[in-house]
Amino acid sequence: MSEYKERIIITGGAGFIGSNLLLNLVPTYRDRLFINVDCLTYAGNLLNLKDIENTDNYRFEHIDIRNYESLAECFRKYKPTGIIHLAAESHVDRSITGPAAFIETNIIGTFNLLELSRKQVESGDNLRFHHVSTDEVFGSLGDTGFFTEDTPYSPNSPYSASKAASDHLVRSYHKTYGLDVVTTNCSNNYGPYQFPEKLIPLMIRNARAELPLPVYGDGQHVRDWLYVEDHCRAIDLVFHRGKSGETYNIGGHNEITNIELVRLICRILDDLLGGGPYERLITFVKDRPGHDRRYAIDASYIEHQLGWVPQHTFDNGIRKTVQWYLDHEDWLESCISGQYLKYYEEMYDKR
Ligand code: NAD
Ligand code: TYD
């Protein structure tokens, strides 16, 4: 281990953004060790990481961040020089029906990581803590305006409230203990490996299976979509060059209403699959309680400070994404059936 001067723990590396991040970082920085700390909830899938699983500078640690002792053992083993913290319960609808897991993982889990980071720094070994958060902490916008880094927090769901609490804990560890932290608040991501309970993969999977496409309420809610690779590039930049104690908003300037987005996906499927129009499957259903009307990010701070700009246009990214899910039906099914757990047992338990 000590042959690696930099040892970076990525929590939640088997999830959607974490796996896209690892698939990018591990081959890019061959002289750094990346340790994926993930307990593999329903949302974690090691199949995502097949391309790097046998790479020298990658390790997987099957650890629940709610468990302080297991995490402490991991810190002793690797003495990390950096943490990029993504592990979370991340689905708003699940937070409405079962908020407890969100409090435990998103708040207590983050607290455990911060405590261990603080103790390591106090014993003389430095590290940088990058907290990956969401724009949902800012609440809901009206028809105009954007979230900036100075927008007051106003979370509306147990998910966003738990992320807001974790953001505040991270801030407090910088202010109180001088921990080297950076926080990023990003808008909605889309792209490969997103669990098919989230809007875009759910619509593609349902359309393919000729199932209803459930649009909540009047479908006029607005999200600001960013291709996941652009988010990962921003994380890389902020982790390496962000100013200690700062927060950075990340977003793609791609505002679209849910109904327009679902119609767009249907038209792409009509082109790629035939058998349309898939719009016939659109079904308006009861609205989500506390449903935020509009999110939109002003990303000018990260653009000016670190020179980050998204590289994917929405037209290009969404077509690529629909095609990816059509090409990876096995992956989609593995999420539903839990096949990857079998894969996990075969890959790791026999070692
Ligand atoms: P995800 O749900 O796809 O993945 C979460 C991962 O964390 C999974 O691999 C899961 O197994 C792991 N995990 C959950 N609880 C854990 C625990 N107790 N211990 C260890 N591992 C655990 O989430 P995602 O969409 O990849 O989001 C990653 C992070 O980015 C989250 O913190 C989320 O709040 C933030 N974020 C997501 C988006 C988005 O659009 N998806 C946007 C902005 C910010
Ligand atoms: P989602 O992907 O759950 O992300 P978030 O709630 O974090 O923004 O949902 C994106 C938007 O799509 C949100 O406004 C809720 C809506 N939505 C539907 O209309 N139907 C669905 O089946 C889902 C999952 C979401």
User: What CATH number did the domain enclosing 88 receive?
Assistant: 3.40.50.720
Q: Which of 38, 64, 89, 136 is catalytic?
A: 136
pLDDT along the chain (351 residues), means of 10: 89 98 98 97 94 96 98 98 98 96 98 98 97 98 97 98 98 98 98 96 94 97 98 98 98 96 98 94 96 97 98 96 96 77 58 45
Report which of 71, 102, 86 is spatially closest to residue 165, judged by C-alpha positions. 102
Which ligand is located closest to the Cα atom of residue 21? 1
Q: What's the pLDDT at 1?
A: 62
Q: What's the pLDDT at 344?
A: 59
User: 329-337 and 314-327 are packed helices; what angle lies between their axes, rounded to 10 degrees?
Assistant: 70
Ligand 1 shell residues, CB under 6 Å: 12, 14-18, 38-41, 43-44, 64-66, 86-90, 105, 109, 132-134, 163, 186, 188-189, 195
Q: What's the pLDDT at 351?
A: 45
Q: Which of 38, 135, 167, 236 is catalytic?
A: 135
Residue 272 lies in a domain: no
Residue 219 lies in a domain: no
Residue 320 lies in a domain: no
Residue 28 near residue 40 (C-beta atoms within 8 A): no
Residue 213 lies in a domain: no
Residue 60 lies in a domain: yes
**Catalytic site residue 135?**
yes
Cβ of 205 less than 6 Å from ligand 2: no
Number of domains present in the structure of the chain:
1
Distance, CA 258 to ligand 2 centroid (Å)?
Answer: 8
List the domain range (segments joined by +) for residue 173: 6-195+226-253+294-315+338-348
pTM for the whole structure: 0.97
**Catalytic site residue 68?**
no
Residue 7 near residue 84 (C-beta atoms within 8 A): no
Distance, CA 199 to ligand 2 centroid (Å)?
Answer: 5
Q: How many CA within 13 A on the CB side of residue 221?
A: 21
**Catalytic site residue 58?**
no
Distance between CA atoms of residues 181 and 246, nearest Å: 8
CA 10 to the chain's CA centroid: 12
Cβ of 294 less than 6 Å from ligand 2: no
